[in-house]
């Protein structure tokens, strides 16, 4: 039994996983706290979190005995959201997309690797068994299972942290009827909590989403507000959302364990780039470059960019995207969960927070886009565009005054 666990852990690594551990399908203390968390309303509109199977690993699958938990590092060597400047008058308005969504859709990547692991187990192990694969796709709290499989500890920011990898890890699980030896032998405690007296994540959160260490009110979290919430972003959060358009990395970016986290060698998690979606943009930009050089100015770096990128993307690009383009560009990206309406709604809020001024080269074009969006059939998009227009106008009047 122990040799099977050792083989599974080694094979998972040969498939590209950075961490792998096995845990018995038991009741874990953290799962018992879900009920109270739900009762306090912290799940917001995420009704799927109330699925009672999420509170008991053993109820997810008949005959389940063990869970194999795997982790994949997606940390790239690009700057943190907290290191990227912007917001000065005249800057091209840009939005932040959370690091996990820059590259390949992690659901697909994890699912493929976990299925390959389950298939390899079927070939190697003589005993017949059932196995189900979950990659943030079922009623499984992977991070809690990961803690008891020895992969790390649950930090004050509620995420799984590993000493070598920090929190930039995707988690997936194979639930199985196999009786496997757990990675942490009987009587061994899970990895210790190394947060110590640190409170950086709690203090840095712009929306005050941590009601106390280790407890998050998801309704206040920018990830929820920009991805899960389908209606308008509540007024009280619009300004704190800042330039975040898909998720938020702040509580991870400030974490000291992420400062020294290993960088992945998987190119698939680097930010995707796209040719200009708007056929008019290159001409406009070429025109700006010519105009700038005639005026003896240095052309702006953003103006000569050859392509759009998911790393700190131009908000003008996001605002100009229609539903068909959105579906086509993000069909195999985690961004699709936000839907077109969510992305454009968030881009409106971010541009409203951007301090867009007349000095910004794209000022006129962005106002025109917001004008068009304010007449959208989609009430949420229309209202968000009007909000952005009124913010920009107010900022302009204040600067004149």
Q: Please return the burial class of 16, using the count of CB atoms within 10 Å of its CB with bins 0-12, 13-18 and 19+.
A: middle
Told to check if 346 binds ligand SF4 by CB under 6 A, we report: no
Q: Answer yes or no: are the C-beta atoms of 200 and 82 closer than 8 Å.
A: no
DSSP codes joined into one string, 78-92: SPPTTT----STTPP
Residue closer to ligand SF4 (CB basis): 93 or 155: 155
Paired strand residues for 67: 23, 175
Q: Which helix (H) or strand (E) holds 245?
A: strand 244-246
Stretch near ligand SF4 under the rule CB under 6 A, chosen from 34-42, 117-125, 193-201, 380-388: 193-201
Between CA 205 and CA 210 the distance in angstroms is 8
Q: Are 93 and 362 in contact (CB under 8 A)?
A: yes
Residues in the interface with ligand SF4 (CB under 6 A) total: 23
**Burial of 246 (C-beta count, 10 Å sphere; 0-12/13-18/19+):** buried
When asked if residue 156 is in the footprint of ligand SF4 (CB under 6 A), the reply is yes
Stretch that binds ligand SF4, among 2-10, 226-234, 244-252, 312-320 (CB under 6 A): 244-252
> Of the candidates 117, 178, 245, 251, which one interacts with ligand SF4 according to CB under 6 A?
251
By the rule CB under 6 A, 256 interacts with ligand SF4: yes
- Residues in region 207-226 near ligand SF4 by CB under 6 A: 207, 209, 216, 221-223
Residue 153 as a binder of ligand SF4 (CB under 6 A): the answer is: no
- Shortest distance (Å) from residue 102 CB to ligand SF4: 16
Give whichever of 68 and 248 is closer to ligand SF4, judged by the CB atom.
248
Q: At closest approach, how far in Å is the CB of 362 from ligand SF4?
A: 27
At 339, phi and psi to the nearest 5?
A: 65, 165
Q: Catalytic pick from 136, 278, 284, 378?
A: 136
**201 lies in the binding site for ligand SF4 (CB under 6 A):** yes
Which of 255, 281, 321, 392 is the binder for ligand SF4 (CB under 6 A)? 255
Interaction of residue 257 with ligand SF4, rule CB under 6 A: yes
DSSP state of 94: B
Residue 93 CB, nearest distance to ligand SF4 (Å)?
20
Minimum Å gap between C-beta 257 and ligand SF4 is 5
Question: Applying CB under 6 A, does 281 fall inside the site for ligand SF4?
Answer: no
In angstroms, give the least distance from the CB of 137 to ligand SF4.
21
- 196: DSSP letter: T
Contact, 30 vs 144, CB < 8 A? yes
Could you tell me how many residues make up the chain?
401
Pairing assessment for the beta strands 96-97 and 210-212 based on DSSP bridges? unpaired
**205 near ligand SF4, rule: CB under 6 A:** yes
To the nearest whole angstrom, how small is the minimum distance from the Cβ of residue 50 to ligand SF4? Answer: 20
Q: Are strands 160-161 and 96-97 parallel, antiparallel or unpaired?
A: unpaired
> Annotated catalytic, 136?
yes
Burial class (CB in 10 A: 0-12, 13-18, 19+), 146: buried
Sheet architecture: strand order including 131-134: 19-24, 66-73, 169-176, 131-134
Question: According to the binding rule CB under 6 A, does residue 157 interact with ligand SF4?
Answer: yes
Segment interacting with ligand SF4, rule: CB under 6 A, options 31-39, 172-180, 191-199, 331-339:
191-199
Check residue 275 for interaction with ligand SF4 (CB under 6 A): no
Q: Report whether 344 contacts 383 (CB < 8 A).
A: no
Near ligand SF4 in 20-59, by CB under 6 A: none
Q: Which of 220, 228, 233, 218 is nearest to 339 (CA)?
A: 228
Count of beta carbons in the 10 Å neighbourhood of residue 34: 19
Compute the distance between CA of residue 68 and CA of residue 47 in angstroms, rounded to an integer. Answer: 26
* Residue 250 lies near ligand SF4 (rule: CB under 6 A): yes
Span from 82-90, 197-205, 272-280, 303-311 in contact with ligand SF4 (CB under 6 A): 197-205
Listed ranges 1-9, 20-28, 84-92, 152-160: which one lies at the site for ligand SF4 (CB under 6 A): 152-160
Does 248 interact with ligand SF4 (rule: CB under 6 A)?
Answer: yes
Distance (Å, rounded) from C-alpha 170 to C-alpha 156? 18
Q: How far is the CB of 166 from ligand SF4 (least distance, A)?
A: 8
- The percent helix, strand, coil of the chain (3-state, each to 5) is 45, 10, 45
Residues catalogued as catalytic: 136
In the complex, the residues that contact ligand SF4 under the rule CB under 6 A are 155-157, 161, 195, 198-201, 205, 207, 209, 216, 221-223, 248, 250-251, 254-257
């Amino acid at each position: 039994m122990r040799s099977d666990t050792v083989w599974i852990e080694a094979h998972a690594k040969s498939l590209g996983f950075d961490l792998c551990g096995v845990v018995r399908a038991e009741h874990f203390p953290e799962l018992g706290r879900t009920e109270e968390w739900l009762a306090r309303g912290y799940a917001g509109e995420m009704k799927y979190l109330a699925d009672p199977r999420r509170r008991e690993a053993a109820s997810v699958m008949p005959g389940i005995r063990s869970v194999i938990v795997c982790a994949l590092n997606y940390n790239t060597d690009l700057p943190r959201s907290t290191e990227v400047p912007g917001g000065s008058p005249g800057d091209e308005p840009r939005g932040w997309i959370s690091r996990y969504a820059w590259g390949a859709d992690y659901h697909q990547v994890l699912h493929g690797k976990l299925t390959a692991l389950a298939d390899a187990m079927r070939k190697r192990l003589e005993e017949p068994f059932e196995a189900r694969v979950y990659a943030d796709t079922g009623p499984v709290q992977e991070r809690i299972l990961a803690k008891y499989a020895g992969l790390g500890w649950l930090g004050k920011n509620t995420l799984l942290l590993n000493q070598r990898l920090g929190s930039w890890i995707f988690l997936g699980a194979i639930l199985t009827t196999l009786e496997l030896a757990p990675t942490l032998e009987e009587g061994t405690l899970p990895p210790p909590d190394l947060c110590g007296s640190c409170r950086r994540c709690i203090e840095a959160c712009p929306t005050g989403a941590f009601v106390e260490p280790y407890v998050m009110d998801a309704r206040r979290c920018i990830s929820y507000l920009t991805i899960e919430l389908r209606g308008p972003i509540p007024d009280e959060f619009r300004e704190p959302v800042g330039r975040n358009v898909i998720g938020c990395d702040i509580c991870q970016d400030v974490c000291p364990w992420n400062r020294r986290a290993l960088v992945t060698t998987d190119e698939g998690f680097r930010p995707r780039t796209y040719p200009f979606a708007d056929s008019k943009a290159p001409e406009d930009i070429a025109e700006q470059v010519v105009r700038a050089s005639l005026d003896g100015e240095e052309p702006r770096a953003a103006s000569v960019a050859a392509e759009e990128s998911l790393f700190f993307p131009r908000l003008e690009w996001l605002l100009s995207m229609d539903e068909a383009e959105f579906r086509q560009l993000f069909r195999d990206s985690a961004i699709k969960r936000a839907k077109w309406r969510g992305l454009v709604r968030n881009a409106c809020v971010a541009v409203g927070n951007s301090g867009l001024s007349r000095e910004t080269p794209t000022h006129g074009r962005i106002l025109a886009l917001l004008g068009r969006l304010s007449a959208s059939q989609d009430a949420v998009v229309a209202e968000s565009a009007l909000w952005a227009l009124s913010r920009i106008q107010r900022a302009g009047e204040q600067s004149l005054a």
